Structure 1
């Protein structure tokens, strides 16, 4: 049985024990006895007496501790408020920040005491505290510490100030005991169990505000002293220091907030200045190969609002500027690199410079993406968009791309490996993919391909077919159907020529004919050439042979696209002249007479158009250092070109060191000149515009046939989308073709809605 005063006796025993624990004199206590007494009190409904008594004892002790800390008399149970010197870890931190040191010491003692008291009162925590919905003993101790110590008017303010001073000193590079700072912030973090805002109220809010001020002043100072690269390097170092300091000294929740302050003050407020910094900004870094600085800016700007977008804008603008400089090249250096040979060589050099420079520009920026921009897809798309603007900013782009391919497939890829061929073609295909006027490219490509095939100048049939296959992949079968038809014609021509020679046998004239299907080849309407009798006889034999095999077809000879070998005897020597068919017809006019003949008369005898005849004759009258001219010109014209009023005669003093002499084509009659005359450029454009009208009308009919009724805006948008793989039509031209179809009763208009008429 229990004594009537058992509660008072038991509590007095526990109170005395708690006092010994607070005085760090608990070695003689019997924890089993103390636990049993606490257990008995709770079992006999004295839990309130026990809980209130413990709270009063702890509160009394903490009020005493607060007075000691405020008094700072250095007699706190043998421990100086300043604390001993910690050598090597900020040894004078205790003297510089006495409040931090004192609170750390007392909080550690308080926590030790509370752990011991909690162990004694474990049964009370488990039953009475839970049932009464009170704070457990450990949380009670934290709450009382916050109330009586940290919230003391003479402790909380100095504590916060000294904690900020310690961090400021550490930030300034002074030697500070970081464990002291960490203990202080850990105390605040522990108090969050009873007061979630304690850490923010006593420290974090003020620390972030101070950081804003410090970083703002530091950033302004750096801006006036450093270049953009040095500034970013200093910011990167500052960011790393702050992260390290936060990890070692502060709560983990503060790291992201401090990083945000650094980014705001150093980067967000000055991102425009940094990126556009004259002679050291982003563009300067790229142009001077400072990829490390670009990578640092990319990394630091990642969390800056609009940072990466700003970089994309500047880099794209720079790419477009460089690309436009390539497009707007004055051609002087290009002509010099071509040796000043003439307009054809200059055009070839221009096309090579144009395409090569754009591919190099692309390669350098893709390297930048890989090495400095982390392979970021947004930057890749921005660069591609910039190149697209450059490529479509010049009306010469389709022609230059086709000329570049023509040069590579004629001789530029000779002796190249398969990998090198694939790389060269893939680069051009990338630029072609960006091109809007693909139909213009197609027209030039057909012209150049026809010359390569007819004159047997392709370096590789496999490379030719690989290029056509790539174009087919990009634009579909319709885009390459005529190109593939040209290859089929070459294959058929070989078979037909072999069979014809076998059937005819060997004759005085050896004729080889290439069969060109009308519509596949970019050839003009053949003129009515006048062939010599022996040539006409062979041509008639071939026509009869061909029509016997392919009945129902029509054969027309186009002498302006061929070549011939002509036996030329002069001065007792014989030469074989390799000439165009036009030049052959011209030379045969002198086979029976060496007398001068008027150019106008020669045009009538041969049936060759006067401009073509003059160009062909000019090549025959041109002398070089290696050989004299085949024909001599006489007349009143002063230029180098043969004119209608001139007369031509055979050069009887012709001499050459070689037996087979190749004569320049002069850009006519099967020649390979790459320079289009202004009139030819205009005709090409006119033909493209005319073809576009038919394609637009076909697209309109196709769309309306499937939809039946459409509003004007929707119809125009669908037509533009349908034709975008070949060219981007002008909306006004689309509307014009719609009106034309309405006039021809393919469509009818009801307000702003069109209907298809079957």
Structure 2
């Protein structure tokens, strides 16, 4: 030891007395007794060395060796004698400690509650401090006899310090632990009831219980068995009983929300209690017990309140319920199911309000209704349910239901993707209410939120492709960046194949720009400077048939001479540049601007923005003051369903005057230019799509979708059978569903119909046992 306090002590025995074992132990016992009771006074260095030497001499006494030779007749060396004397000294020390602790135990009997805790803690500290000191005094015994015994695998042999702990456990702890724990639990209950206690007392008790955990098979190791059995077990039982009683009383007198607040507070208190004065080992069992009593025991009550909180949008209380029920096994499963049902009902109700307004609602109103419900409950999931993946899945399931199967979708399952595509077109088309770039990007992100839930993604693709084609052809896109951004989002969601044709459209537009420049150079070079082309300034777009969702005109048409000349000129140029290609003129998509030189606002003539059909009609009036319906039809060759609505637009805008004025344009009516035409704008847009054309386009699109689905199903069937060679009919149907469902949810009768069609075409054949085989 580096420092030993100086006090008076018993004198070292003489050489003669050293041979007397009783006298030697008597000397050791007096000094051990001083250490046990008066350690604060200490031993002087001389006495300390005397005790250490006495232990050494006691264990190596020759007298003891000789005595052992006579008694056993079989020992021939010193170590065995030292072994026997070490054992005797060890036993004498153990007997002393037992007597000492019996005295302490008698004193403990006169204390109770907090006084008992104070006594136990004080005695524990005194005893363990003395144990450390004695361990130094008996180092020789530890180093030799104890070590040899332990190395030989002897049981119940410990170093001197550990021997003290073993004796404390056997002779004092077992006798008083019951009352000590009773006092500890009373203190904890006081604290739970709001009183202030000395927490360090409980911590000291916990530490002492932990220190008494000794491994019987290896005295150098410690365990928590004593702590767990004598402290943790009664502590957990008392905790369970306390909260069972408290929670029953509280629930009977308070609301569910107030109970949840109380439960959260209690759970946090118990967690802090572990940090402050309990051993960390208890945390798991303590929390499990509290969860079982405070949450599982009242889980039905909490879950019954969930719908009320949802209906009243009590986000904070929903978050509290989520935190509590997430602590117990399967605690949230019923909540997720109810949440999904609630969101689905909210979505269906929102769509019903849109449908109640009539069939002529704007796509924006419909999409906004879907987004409002999704946004509201997405926020709830993020805030109240911590964005938990299972609640996100419940939200997704609910949204998928009300987006694809609602009041508006009853007439057609394709309505949602169609309306979403039309709303996207409104956003991306130039208009009076064009959004800022950042706002537009955010709107496109919202579009993709709804798109994620659309099952018939092929329907959206078709309608979006058609509207994109029109925007590109008519140069009516709000910006190329916005168009590119939308296509990138679709590509990220559905892959390259989904957007391949859309991207090729952009390439054709760029190629057309280059082609127009080349055409003008060619035309100028061909005709020289004498050509006067001021009357017409044409621009052409060449669109690849395989990539653009466009069809040939639905009516015959004879273009005016001015247009015919330009058309023939470009055709000659294109045939010279690309031999073997055929140009089909899509008159229904062509448009232009005309100067109305016959009527001016001030000195500036009006400019009419017209379709090619309207241009052909108006150009007839360059040579005629008046024309009847039959004349116009004969000159243009337009069908009634195209000519009539276009004439109606010109008459409604007062560009043409109709005689008689009442009634729709038809045979027998006469028309003349309105020389008194007036408009607030110099540029007057007459190129308005008629409803009949819109209806025809929608029908045509749906027919294309059905045809494409048939081809997609057949290609999937062939691809599967080619790789598998043979397959059961049911398995083939399931594999087709898996491959195709990303584009649209296929109907089983449609799959079977296409399987039969492929069998007729000799792609596959039916074998025995409902098995199909691929025909190479």
TM range (shorter): 0.7 to 0.9
Residue of structure 2 in register with 1:140 after alignment: 163
Contact 2:504 2:547 in 1 (8 A): yes
Does residue 612 of the first structure (1) align with residue 636 of the second (2)? no
TM-superposed deviation, 1:168:
0.8
CA RMSD of aligned residues (A): 3.9
Residue of structure 2 in register with 1:209 after alignment: 237
Residue of structure 2 in register with 1:85 after alignment: none
1:35 pairs, out of 52, 57, 70, with: 52
Residue of structure 2 in register with 1:655 after alignment: 677
Does residue 255 of the first structure (1) align with residue 255 of the second (2)? no
Q: What SS class does the counterpart of residue 632 from structure 1 fall into?
A: strand
- The verdict on how the C-alpha distance between 1:636 and 1:460 changes in structure 2, with shifts beyond 3 A counting, is closer
Q: Matched residues in 1 for 2:416 and 2:248: separation?
A: 48
Residue of structure 2 in register with 1:190 after alignment: 211
Contact 2:363 2:420 in 1 (8 A): no
2:29 pairs, out of 12, 15, 23, with: 15
Residue of structure 1 in register with 2:95 after alignment: 56
Q: What SS class does the counterpart of residue 555 from structure 1 fall into?
A: coil
Contact 1:312 1:379 in 2 (8 A): yes
Contact 2:655 2:677 in 1 (8 A): no
Does residue 694 of the first structure (1) align with residue 684 of the second (2)? no
Q: Matched residues in 2 for 1:156 and 1:466: separation?
A: 74
Residue of structure 2 in register with 1:150 after alignment: 173
- The verdict on how the C-alpha distance between 1:178 and 1:403 changes in structure 2, with shifts beyond 3 A counting, is same
1:438 pairs, out of 440, 457, 461, with: 457
Contact 1:413 1:421 in 2 (8 A): no
Cα distance per residue 1:219-267 (max 9 Å; x no partner): 3444456666654443333233223323333323223322222222223
- The verdict on how the C-alpha distance between 1:674 and 1:224 changes in structure 2, with shifts beyond 3 A counting, is farther
Q: Matched residues in 2 for 1:577 and 1:411: separation?
A: 18
Does residue 597 of the first structure (1) align with residue 625 of the second (2)? no
Cα distance per residue 1:372-417 (max 9 Å; x no partner): 7666566556555554455444533322332233222223799877
- Structure 2 residues without counterparts, runs of 5 or longer: 1-14, 62-83, 217-223
- The verdict on how the C-alpha distance between 1:746 and 1:436 changes in structure 2, with shifts beyond 3 A counting, is same
Structure with more relative contact order (C-alpha pairs < 8 Å, separation 6 or more): 1
Does residue 479 of the first structure (1) align with residue 466 of the second (2)? no
Residue of structure 2 in register with 1:754 after alignment: 772
TM-superposed deviation, 1:310:
5.9
- The verdict on how the C-alpha distance between 1:563 and 1:27 changes in structure 2, with shifts beyond 3 A counting, is closer
1:166 pairs, out of 181, 187, 191, with: 187
Contact 2:364 2:423 in 1 (8 A): no
1:735 pairs, out of 747, 752, 773, with: 752
TM-superposed deviation, 1:211:
0.9
Q: Matched residues in 2 for 1:277 and 1:359: separation?
A: 23
Cα distance per residue 1:541-581 (max 9 Å; x no partner): 44344333333233333322222444557789964432222
Q: What SS class does the counterpart of residue 12 from structure 1 fall into?
A: helix
Q: Matched residues in 1 for 2:202 and 2:23: separation?
A: 44
Cα distance per residue 1:663-706 (max 9 Å; x no partner): 444424xxxx79954x7545432321121101221232233334
Q: What SS class does the counterpart of residue 457 from structure 1 fall into?
A: coil
- The verdict on how the C-alpha distance between 1:649 and 1:136 changes in structure 2, with shifts beyond 3 A counting, is same
Q: What SS class does the counterpart of residue 447 from structure 2 fall into?
A: helix
TM-superposed deviation, 1:448:
0.8
1:502-517 matched pairs, under 5 angstroms: 502=524, 503=526, 505-507=531-533, 508-517=535-544
Q: Matched residues in 1 for 2:681 and 2:351: separation?
A: 44
- The verdict on how the C-alpha distance between 1:288 and 1:592 changes in structure 2, with shifts beyond 3 A counting, is farther
1:454 pairs, out of 473, 490, 502, with: 473
TM-score with structure 2 length normalisation? 0.79
TM-superposed deviation, 1:652:
4.2
Q: What SS class does the counterpart of residue 576 from structure 2 fall into?
A: helix
Q: Matched residues in 2 for 1:145 and 1:237: separation?
A: 39
1:305 pairs, out of 286, 309, 329, with: 329
TM-superposed deviation, 1:169:
0.9
Q: Matched residues in 2 for 1:18 and 1:397: separation?
A: 93
- The verdict on how the C-alpha distance between 1:545 and 1:210 changes in structure 2, with shifts beyond 3 A counting, is same
Contact 1:215 1:262 in 2 (8 A): yes
Q: Matched residues in 2 for 1:439 and 1:9: separation?
A: 105
Q: Matched residues in 2 for 1:743 and 1:557: separation?
A: 38
Q: Matched residues in 2 for 1:358 and 1:428: separation?
A: 14
Cα distance per residue 1:701-736 (max 9 Å; x no partner): 233334433333443344344434433333432232
Contact 1:347 1:674 in 2 (8 A): no
Q: Matched residues in 1 for 2:612 and 2:288: separation?
A: 79
Cα distance per residue 1:415-465 (max 9 Å; x no partner): 877666655444434543543322211211122112212222112234334
Q: What SS class does the counterpart of residue 458 from structure 1 fall into?
A: coil
Contact 1:700 1:738 in 2 (8 A): yes
- The verdict on how the C-alpha distance between 1:630 and 1:9 changes in structure 2, with shifts beyond 3 A counting, is same
Q: Matched residues in 2 for 1:565 and 1:60: separation?
A: 119
TM-superposed deviation, 1:748:
1.5
- The verdict on how the C-alpha distance between 1:595 and 1:185 changes in structure 2, with shifts beyond 3 A counting, is same
TM-superposed deviation, 1:199:
2.6
Cα distance per residue 1:295-328 (max 9 Å; x no partner): 6656555543234656655655555455445544
- Structure 1 residues without counterparts, runs of 5 or longer: 73-80, 83-95, 336-341
TM-superposed deviation, 1:162:
2.0
2:658 pairs, out of 595, 613, 632, with: 632
TM-superposed deviation, 1:492:
4.2
Residue of structure 1 in register with 2:354 after alignment: 330
Contact 2:606 2:684 in 1 (8 A): no
TM-score with structure 1 length normalisation? 0.80
TM-superposed deviation, 1:608:
1.9
Q: Matched residues in 2 for 1:708 and 1:590: separation?
A: 69
- The verdict on how the C-alpha distance between 1:397 and 1:144 changes in structure 2, with shifts beyond 3 A counting, is same
1:410 pairs, out of 429, 450, 454, with: 429
- The verdict on how the C-alpha distance between 1:565 and 1:236 changes in structure 2, with shifts beyond 3 A counting, is same
